[in-house]
Amino acid sequence: MKHKIVVVDDDAKTADLLRLYLEKDGYQVLLAYDGRQALDLARQRRPDLILLDLMLPAVDGLDVCRILRAESNIPIIMLTAKTTEEDTLLGLDLGADDYITKPFSPREVVARVRTVLRRVHEEQDKGPSEVRFGELVVDFVSHEARLHGAPLHLTPKEFKLLEIFAKEPGRAFTRLELLERVFGLDYEGFERTVDVHVMNLRKKIERAAGRPSYVQTVYGVGYKFVEDKDVA
């Protein structure tokens, strides 16, 4: 079965060019030219991935991403002419899986689509549907975490961090590894970005963020998730 891709861009030439390259690579492509059309297509046609321009009429790309993330886990790759770290982080924090800056090569876009879809399918195919560490439960299917039975309100990137840690407890991850796995292989940000997200995650899952029981610092390396499942 062909993967279904929604391309959202208000520039018809750009949208048609991406459609041409994606169809040549075997994908079924649907086009939207503003944010409202993008939301309608996503809800009605349930695509496997969305290529989403940031600068859109009607509803802008960031709002589309925010709305879709509240409704589903459809992979989203953002297309943006904005290159500042703040703009990129905002899009990624809202739940985008990757971003590509304009101008871009259509071949690069197709390669990124392949990579994101492969990563999503690999994550879905391996491991248990949820894990428990004391009173902390991480549900990989629903993309939710609960502490003492109450749902935790995690951002998409905070949950991604927790998911990476919980799937390999005891393993020490470098900041660079976490940066690449959470924000994408080509994200040109700073390793301090990881520290900020770890700090925010600790505030939500630890009894005392200053004395973490779950996410522990490995000095000179990065971070690891505690192996002791009896932590309460």
Query: CATH no. for residue 73?
Result: 3.40.50.2300
pLDDT digits (tens, 9 = 90+) for 107-119: 999 999 999 998 8
Res 143: pLDDT? 81
> Cβ distance 110 to 21 under 8 Å?
yes
Residue 231 belongs to some domain of the structure: no
The band of 231, judged by pLDDT with boundaries at 50, 70 and 90, is very low
Q: What is the arithmetic mean of pLDDT over 91-120?
A: 87
Query: Is the pLDDT score of 88 beyond 70?
Result: no
Percentage of the chain lying above the pLDDT 70 cut: 88
pLDDT digits (tens, 9 = 90+) for 148-191: 999 999 988 899 899 999 988 888 999 888 887 887 645 555 66
Rounded Cα distance between 176 and 196, Å, is: 14
Residue 12 belongs to some domain of the structure: yes
Res 27: pLDDT? 95
Strands 4-8 and 49-53: parallel
Range of the domain at 188: 130-225
Q: Are residues 83 and 184 in the same domain?
A: no
Q: Are residues 57 and 97 in the same domain?
A: yes
The band of 230, judged by pLDDT with boundaries at 50, 70 and 90, is very low
* 102, 125, 148 - which closes a domain: 125
Strands 49-53 and 76-80: parallel
The band of 18, judged by pLDDT with boundaries at 50, 70 and 90, is very high
* 84, 104, 125 - which closes a domain: 125
Number of compact structural domains in the chain? 2
